[in-house]
């Protein structure tokens, strides 16, 4: 699962989708790694949001409640605060995609795309 984001510049131009960066981890952190919790939280929020989106689609509801859910608000906040944004960015958007890793025969699946939201 990947979380990607892109920025909308003040002139309306869109940047390319970029993956949230994962830090390289030294081998000894396999035994003790407090940063691993951040990655786990990112994955758990993404899974929760993807499940919420699927249930809203299945129930044919408006989906507006999804944008005030714990998972959406926290994931949007995390991306707004920690992603490297291009100068002159006015808004950002994120996507949750499921990839099959190095298996290029399978296309990635898009699980969720957020609307653009303003950066604080």
> Could you tell me the pTM of the whole model?
0.79
| Cβ neighbours of residue 10 closer than 8 Å, sequence gap 6 or more | 88, 89, 90
The CA distance from 44 to 82, in Å, is 17
pLDDT of 59-69, one tens digit each? 776 667 788 88
pLDDT of 80-100, one tens digit each? 998 999 999 999 999 999 887
pLDDT band at 11 (very low <50, low <70, confident <90, very high): very high
Q: Which two tokens stand for residue 97?
A: 């995609």
Query: Beta-carbon neighbour count of residue 120 at 10 Å?
Result: 6
The bridge status of strand 89-98 relative to strand 2-9 is antiparallel
Q: Which two tokens stand for residue 66?
A: 């999804």
pLDDT of 111-120, one tens digit each? 999 999 998 7
């Amino acid at each position: 699962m990947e979380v990607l984001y892109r920025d909308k510049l003040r002139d309306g131009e869109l940047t390319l989708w970029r993956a949230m960066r994962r830090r390289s981890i030294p081998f000894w952190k396999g035994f003790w790694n407090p940063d691993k919790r951040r990655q786990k939280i990112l994955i758990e929020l993404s899974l929760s949001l993807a499940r919420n989106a699927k249930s809203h689609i299945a129930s044919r509801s408006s989906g507006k409640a999804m944008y005030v859910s714990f998972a959406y608000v926290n994931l949007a906040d995390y991306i707004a605060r920690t992603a490297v944004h291009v100068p002159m960015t006015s808004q950002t958007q994120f996507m949750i995609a499921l990839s099959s890793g190095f298996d290029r025969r399978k296309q990635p699946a898009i699980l969720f795309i957020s609307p653009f939201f303003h950066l604080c």
